[in-house]
Amino acid sequence: MTGTSKLSTGIKGLDLALDGGYPKGTRIVVLSSPLSGGDLMAGQFFRSGGNEDTYMMIDGEVGNGMTEGRDMKPEGIVAAMGGERIVVDSLSSVINKYGIDGTLSSLMGKGIHHLLDNGSVIFYIMYTGMHSCEEEVKVFRAADIVISLKENIIGNEIERNLALLKIKESKVPQRLIPFRIGINGIELSTTQRVI
């Protein structure tokens, strides 16, 4: 995806790791637990855009500028999408309600090609531990970029890491990137430890 224009992720350290941000016309899947910061990451991406962008809230409290999607079928969700930055929070809820094949066809397949062709970046939150291996494989194959957010409790500290697992047509970094959750959202460490 080199040579394409990019949209900022809304997180400076992640923009650096992705050499400028998310390439336009891509599908981003962020795999996280409900407490590891996927929603914060989605919010940072959404807020760094304009008023014409779409945040589809499927399974949580609808905040300022978000679109209520709880009762929408996959086709209705697609019809409500617009702008350069689109968030689906969460893909997991749609899959659980409507099944994997119909959801992927609408939300990650032919149903969204007009958006991708116009340069939209679609950001999906997918929760860990909610899907079968087969469902995960289908989602990951449809995605252009897959990011995993993980946390470990070590003694009395929480260690959080971001892993870039897939970047279509680009080199994937071979290391975990530490991050913190702060008052303004996710902050990535941009320094490397020398051992």
pLDDT single digits (tens) 40-90:
999 999 999 988 999 999 999 999 999 999 999 999 999 999 999 999 999
> Is 1 domain-assigned?
no
* 86 belongs to a structural domain: yes
Q: Grade residue 3 by pLDDT with cuts at 50, 70 and 90.
A: very low
- Higher per-residue pLDDT: 38 or 2: 38
Residue 194 lies in a domain: no
Angstrom CA distances, 93 to 27, 59, 72, 147, stand at: 17, 7, 11, 18
Please, are residues 59 and 95 in contact by the beta-carbon 8 Å criterion?
no
pLDDT number for residue 184: 87
pLDDT at 46: 97
* Sign of the dihedral defined by the CA atoms of residues 118, 61, 13, 47, in that order: positive
* Domain of residue 129, residue span: 6-188
> 98-146 pLDDT, tens per residue?
999 999 999 999 999 999 999 999 999 999 999 999 999 999 999 999 9
Residue type, 123: F
Question: Which pLDDT score, from 0 to 100, does residue 145 have?
Answer: 97
The reply to whether 83 falls in a domain is: yes
pLDDT at 192: 54
Which CATH number fits the domain that encloses residue 170?
Answer: 3.40.50.300
For residue 189, the model assigns a pLDDT of 74
Q: Would residue 12 count as lying in a domain?
A: yes
pLDDT at 161 over 50: yes
Q: Do 120 and 107 touch, CB atoms closer than 8 A?
A: no
Strand 157-167 relative to strand 54-57: parallel, antiparallel, unpaired?
Answer: unpaired
- Domains in the chain: how many in total? 1
Task: Compute the 3-state secondary structure of the chain and give helix, strand, coil in percent, each to the nearest 5.
Answer: 30, 30, 40
Residue 195 falls within a domain, yes or no? Answer: no
Residues 6+ apart with CB under 8 A from 120: 24, 25, 81, 83, 84, 85, 86, 112
pLDDT tops 60 at residue 178? yes
pLDDT over 80 at 92, yes or no: yes
- Of 2 and 94, more confident: 94
In a domain, 26, yes or no: yes
79: in domain? yes
